[in-house]
Each structure stands twice: as structure tokens, then as C-alpha cells.
Amino acid sequence: MCNTRCAGRRASRAGIAGVLTLLWLACVFVSLPASAACLPNADPSIRALQVQVDEDANAALKKVASLLKTELAEPIPNSQRLASLYSVQAQAYSILELESKARDAVFKGLKFTSDNTDPVRVMLLSLYAENVYDQAGIAAAVKTTEEAQAVQKRGSLEDICLLIGRGLLQYRQDREDLAIGSLTQAYRSSTTSAFAEPHALAAGVLATVLRGMGDYSQALALNQEAIDWDIGRHAPLALSVDRFLRGRILILMQKYAQAIDEFDDARKLSAMLNDTQGVAFADVRVCESRIELGQLIKARAACENALFTFIASRFSDEVKETEALLARIDLAEGHPEKALATLNEVLDHSGTDVLPLRVASLYQWRARTNAALHNYRDAYNDLSEYIRRYVSTNDADRTKQAVALRARFETDREIERNALLKRELDLSHEQSQRQAQQLRWNAIAAVSGVLVIALLIYFLLTNLRFRKQLVRLASLDSLTGLPNRRRTAELAIEALAGTTAAEQPLTVAIIDLDHFKFINDRCGHATGDYVLREFARLGRESVRAGDTLGRWGGEEFLLVMPDATVEVAIATLERLRTLVFGINLPPSGAGLRVSMSAGLAVRDKQIRSLDELIARADAALYVAKNEGRDLVRVADEKFLTTTGVRRAIRQ
């Protein structure tokens, strides 16, 4: 449904550790097939435009813009045609990864259709589901989708398209059990030739969900259905993405030679479409596969090609993953010193700025590298960390697989229940005779239920104080006493929603203590902890009563300032920066001083999620660091003009 190469392509921009941690569960490895018109428009001219979007989205956009201009100039515009044109525009923007513009087109189209039985409105709602990622937007989209679905005929094309959209939204809510149920129902309800397009769409999305749940063979079969459909409708962009997804599944199945063939096909299509980032993502996966096959020279060439593009695009997460692969090659070629230097750089933040599923393997390879250099103590520590993370990841995978099995079992039961409905009706007379006896048991159960409820209320009141204390502790960082990352993110999302509704400014700042690792290494971890606590104390004294200062990760902090202009925010940060100079270090830190760098960003009308706002602030912090540190910098308004940047922060 959304045209991404892989989770890294969404999450790698600017290395935002907090965003990675917050979003990886919903998006990691969530590569989804390119957008398609789930509902063919009844108007032949609009349908022709939908087909053109699959072949050349940019050309279709130009034609739609011209038609919209003509239609809006009419004394009495045709509302149905306008809604249809905006749906085509949203579909094209979705394929081009311009989600914000796609959402805007959807909102414009919805103004011209309010009937939930209108196929054009259903199409607009499906497109919105493809292009919303923030949790508040997803929750609202689920509600709107379910309201529209409630008035559709079961098994109709509109019902199937809404099921696909609902399944995608549920998956982004980390509800794989619900997502599999919705998508399986859509897939099985669209088996007739008349529903070939939504059937292929459901197959592609369901393949991605099942891959994340570990059902590789089923995911591979569903992915092939999507590929066959892409070939039949001559959609090179969608085919490139689906070939790439197939390669990812084959890597997980350890079929590396077959995976390379799929990545090569995806790379050729990306090159034909001038998609340099798509080429880079194919190259890095080819590099990974060739390493597993022992083809180190070819692997290095592929990784170096990818690294050049990722550095130019500032995909820091993908840069780190590619460098880690190059370190593996160096180790295999007998250069452990070079490999260790690279892996130390990749893990310079203890893996907090790398997607969690990738961190465990990084510690494993650094353990092997340390062992090759006879650094056995370091190797043991890295191996212990690898085992801890590996066990945690495996436990989560087993839970997901259990959820998937339950969801599929429940879906099969639903189908079986429908088949047995007639027989159940025939048995209704016998059931009515048993009803009187059942009512008596129900009365006994009701009395028992009242007693149980009373007992539960007693326990609830008894433990309320302890629960409140646990909630408070779970929301605070134990070292600094500031809100922890999860609580800070919740408060920031609430502030964004409130200021957006009230049309007030919202300013956020990413603050980073300069050379903190150097202070830690020279003066010791106790001094490092003292610096963090002092910074938190000074921060609480410097910010306004309604502001939120929270620990974002390591030596990074997030400051959220509702109803604050840039001038107010700069004054606050400059005051805090001056106070930080006064933090005293022990004699071992002679010649050092504590300083901070900060990046500021202000919400504007183009920003619809906290992720985009933080990405701006992080870019400004990057500028402050590059310009010498101990600085406060404001985000450049051009930050969001790069193609695909919003996708880069989804993970």
C-alpha cells in the first residue's frame, strides 16, 4: 500500500534514536507494495487516469492538475468528478512517496462526497489509510473506516477495499492479530476474477504482515501473486518494490542465491526509473547475500556503491548497517583492527540509534572481532550483550507468531461458523428447550458475578496507591528524574495535537551534551551521571511551567515548548547553555568544560506528525554540531523538500 523499499528507508534519516525506538515495532521491515486503485472508477476517463498513474505517476499528476483547474473554473463544478480527480491525485502522490500531499488531496476530495456508500469516498478513505502514520491519525482513520464499512454490503468491492485499509491501519497499531483477520477476510472475499485488483493488493499487504510474523512460505506465495499482477498491468515501480520484498523473504529463508536474483531484477527496474535510492537498497541487500555466500570481493563492491548513496542522502541508519557489513568483510579478509574500528563507530551510542532488530547481530560480530584480536574480556562482554538482546528478540518473535496462529485460527473459525449457520438454525428448537435451564444457571452465575465484582473492587481500592506509584516510576528516568523517552513522546504528541487544534505555535528542541563520551572516559561514569543530573536540574529551573524537558536517550534531551515562538525558545536555550558552563568537573577533567548543542524546529501547517517536527530539530542539531558545537541552531525550512524524507522517519 505504501511504496517503501524497507523499514530502514523510513527510519534512517538523521539518526533519531528516540524515534527509532518509538516506531520500530510498527514499521520495522514493513515494506509494502506500491499503491494501486483498489476501486476502479465508474467514469472511463477517470479509470484511464488511474491506469496512467501505475505507468507514469508524474505525467498523470500534470493531467489531473489541468483537469482540476478546468473543472473548478466551471460556474457549477461537478462534485462527483472533482472527488474522483482528487482521488487520482492522492493515488499518484502516494506512489511518489509524498504522503503529506496525498493526505491533502484526500481531504480536498472528501469535501465533495459525504455518503459512505459512494465508491469514490471509499477510495479516498482507502488512500488515506495508506498515507497516515501518526498514532492519532491512525486511530481516527480506523474509526472512519469502520463507520464506512458498517454500511457496505458484506463481500462487496467497497467492503473488501475498506478491509484492506483497516488491516493496514491495525498493523501500524501493532495489532497483528486484528490485521491478519482483516486482510485474510479481504483476500478470501476477493477470489473472483471481478475482484482481481483488490485481491492482488490484499495478497501483497498480507505477504508483508506474514513475513513479519515469520510465516515465510506463505508470504512468498502471496508475494508471487502480487508480482504476477504487477507484470500483467505493466507497473514497473510496483514490480521493483515487490521483487525487493521477495528478496528480503528469501534472505530470511537463507536462500541467498535466489535472493540476489530478485535484488538484481529490482535494481534494474529502479535504475530504469532513475530511483538511485532504490538501487542503493538493492545493492546493500546483494552485499549481505554475497557475504553469506563467501563472495567477498563482489560483496564489497555492492556495499561501497550503496554507502555512497546513503551518505549523500544522509540515511544515517543505513550508513551504519552498510558499514557493519563492510566490517564483516574486513574481518573475513583478515583485517580485524579495521573491522573493530568500524564496529566501534557503528555502536558508538550502544545501538540506540540503530533499529533494535539489527543491534544484536552487531554485538555478535564485534565479539568475534575482539576474539580475533585476543581482546577476550571485550569479546565476552559483547557476547553477553548479544545473547541478552537475541533472547529478547526471539521471545518477541515467538509471541508474534503465536498471535498470528491465533488470528488465522479465529478467521478459519469465522468461515466455518458461516458454513454451519443453516444447521444451527435447524437446531434452534432444541436450544430453546434448554434455555429455561440455562436461565437458572445464569441467575446463579449473576449472583456469583456480583460477589466476584465486589471482591475485585476491594482489591482495586486496596492496590490503587501502589499502582499510582508504579505508573509514576514507569514514566520517569531513574537517573535524572525527568520524564523518560516513552513519557516524553506521549507529552509531545499531546502538545502537538493541542497546539494544532488551537492554531498555536509549538517549538521543539533536541539538546545534546557536547563531547559527553570524552568526559565520561576521562572522569569516569560517576562524573558522567553527575553531569546528567546537574543538567536535568538546571533544565527544570530554566524552562517555563508548561514546557516539557525529557531524556531522549544517552546524553540527548527533548524540550517541548507549547505556544512558544522561536525567539522565546532561543532565549530559553541560551539561558540554559550559559548555566551549563557552571557545572564543575573533578580535577581529572582539567581543561574540559560542559557545553551543549541544540537544534530548534517550529511546527508549521505542513507538519502533521511529531516525527516530522523532531526530524527538523535533529537536522538543526546536526548543523550545530558541524559548526563547532556549543551552539543553538534553528531548522532550515528547506529540510522537508528532499524527496522521500518523510518516509525516512516512519521507522
Q: Per-residue pLDDT for 13 more than 50?
A: no
Residue that terminates a domain, selected from 375, 392, 418 = 418
User: What is the predicted pLDDT for the residue at 381?
Assistant: 92
Q: Write out 411-438 in H/E/C secondary structure.
A: HHHHHHHHHCHHHHHHCHHHHHHHHHHH
Same domain flag for 403 and 356 = yes
Q: Average pLDDT in the 45-63 region? A: 88
Whole-angstrom Cα Rg for the chain: 27
Confidence category of residue 395, pLDDT binned at 50, 70, 90: low
In this structure, the answer to whether residues 131 and 204 fall within a common structural domain is yes
d(CA 607, CA 613): 7
On whether residue 547 sits in a domain, the answer given is: yes
Which amino acid is located at 213 in the chain? M
Same structural domain, 166 and 202:
yes
Q: Is 413 exposed, middle or buried (0-12, 13-18, 19+ CB in 10 A)?
A: exposed
Supply the pLDDT for residue 24.
Answer: 35
Residue 333's pLDDT band, with cuts at 50, 70 and 90, is very high
Model's pTM, two decimal places?
Answer: 0.55
Asked if residues 508 and 492 have their Cβ atoms less than 8 Å apart, the reply is yes
101 falls in which pLDDT band (50, 70, 90)? very high
CATH number of the domain enclosing 582: 3.30.70.270
Asked if residue 434 belongs to a domain, the reply is: no
**Distance of alpha carbon 166 from alpha carbon 125, whole angstroms:** 10
pLDDT tens-digit profile of 487-528? 999 999 999 998 888 888 999 999 999 999 999 999 999 999
Give the residue-averaged pLDDT of 459-484: 74
Which of these ranges, 47-51, 340-344, 508-512, has the smallest mean pLDDT? 47-51
Measured distance CA(2)–CA(95) in Å, rounded: 7
pLDDT band at 431 (very low <50, low <70, confident <90, very high): low
Name which of 251, 195, 255 is nearest 225 in CA terms: 195
Residue where a domain stops, chosen among 300, 333, 366: 333
- Regarding whether 327 and 240 lie in a shared domain, the answer is yes
**Residue at 117 is within a domain:** yes
**Within this chain, do residues 180 and 46 fall inside the same structural domain, yes or no?**
yes
Residue with the bigger pLDDT between 390 and 68: it is 68
Residue 331's alpha-carbon distances to 356, 379, 627, in angstroms, are: 23, 14, 35
The model's pLDDT over 220-256, given as tens digits with 9 standing for 90+, comes to: 999 998 899 888 888 888 888 899 999 999 999 999 9
The DSSP bridge partners found for residue 214 are none
Tell me, yes or no, whether 267 and 406 share the same domain.
no
Element counts in the chain: helices (H) and strands (E):
28, 5
The SS3 assignment for 513 reads strand
316 pLDDT above the threshold of 50 = yes
432: CB partners within 8 A, 6+ apart: none
Backbone angles phi, psi at 2, to 5 degrees: -110, 145
Contacts of 129 (CB under 8 A, 6+ apart): 1, 141, 145, 165, 166, 168, 169
Say if residue 434's pLDDT is above 80: no
Judgement on whether residues 246 and 201 belong to the same structural domain of the protein: no
Residue 6 has a pLDDT of: 42
| Contacts of residue 409, Cβ cutoff 8 Å, sequence gap at least 6 | none
Strand-strand pairing, 556-562 and 596-602: unpaired
Q: Long-range pairs for 125-129 at CB < 8 Å and ≥24 separation?
A: 125/162, 125/165, 126/38, 126/39, 126/161, 126/162, 126/164, 126/165, 127/35, 127/87, 127/90, 127/91, 127/94, 127/102, 128/90, 128/103, 128/165, 129/1, 129/165, 129/166, 129/168, 129/169
**pLDDT score recorded for residue 432:** 60
Contacts of 412 (CB under 8 A, 6+ apart): none
Q: Are residues 491 and 623 in the same domain?
A: yes
pLDDT of residue 539: 94
Q: Is 194 buried (19+), middle (13-18) or exposed (0-12) by CB count in 10 A?
A: exposed
Give residue 368's pLDDT.
92
Q: Average pLDDT of the chain?
A: 82
Note whether 54 and 45 are within 8 A (CB): no
The per-residue pLDDT for range 169-220, each reduced to its tens digit, is: 988 888 887 888 888 888 988 888 888 888 888 888 888 888 877 888 888 9
Q: Tell me: pLDDT of 468 over 70.
A: no
Going by pLDDT thresholds of 50, 70 and 90, the confidence category of residue 36 is low
Residue 14 lies in a domain: no
Is 172 a domain residue? Answer: yes
Number of Cβ within 10 Å of residue 372's Cβ equals 16
Contact 167, 190 (CB under 8 A): no
How many structural domains compose the chain?
Answer: 4
Phi and psi at residue 427, in whole multiples of 5°?
Answer: -95, 5
Let me know if residue 423 belongs to a domain: no
**Among 88-92, 114-118, 407-411, 593-597, which is the least confidently predicted range?**
407-411
Q: Domain ends where: 333, 366, 397? A: 333
Find the range with the poorest average confidence among 31-45, 96-110, 224-238: 31-45
Q: What is the 3-state secondary structure (H, E, C) of 560-590?
A: EEECCCHHHHHHHHHHHHHHHCCCCCCHHHC
pLDDT band at 365 (very low <50, low <70, confident <90, very high): very high
**pLDDT score for 423:** 56
Q: What is the CATH number of the domain that holds 293?
A: 1.25.40.10
The answer to whether residues 61 and 208 belong to one domain is: yes
Highest mean pLDDT among 16-20, 211-215, 343-347: 343-347
Given a cut of 60, is residue 587 above it in pLDDT?
yes
Which residue has better confidence, 359 or 438? Answer: 359
555 catalytic? Reply is yes
What digits encode the pLDDT tens for the residues 629-650?
999 999 975 544 443 333 333 3
* Rounded Cα distance, 607 and 496, in Å: 10
What's the pLDDT score for residue 623?
94
Answer yes or no: do 315 and 410 share one domain.
Answer: no
- Residue range of the domain that includes 145: 31-213
What are φ and ψ of residue 649, in 5° steps? -105, 10
Q: Which three cell numbers mark 275?
A: 530511483
Do 198 and 323 belong together in one domain? no
Q: Which residue has the higher pLDDT, 464 or 16?
A: 464
Same domain, 536 and 404: no
Burial code (b: 16+ CB inside 10 Å, e: under 16) for 426-449 equals: eeeeeeeeeeeeeeeeeeeeeeee
Within a domain: residue 394? yes
408 confidence band (pLDDT: 50, 70, 90): low
Give tens-digit pLDDT for 518-557.
999 999 999 999 999 999 999 999 999 999 999 998 899 9
Which listed residue (555, 567, 612, 637) is catalytic? 555
The answer as to whether 458 is a domain residue is no
Q: What distance in Å separates the CA atoms of residue 71 and residue 79, rounded to the nearest whole number?
A: 9
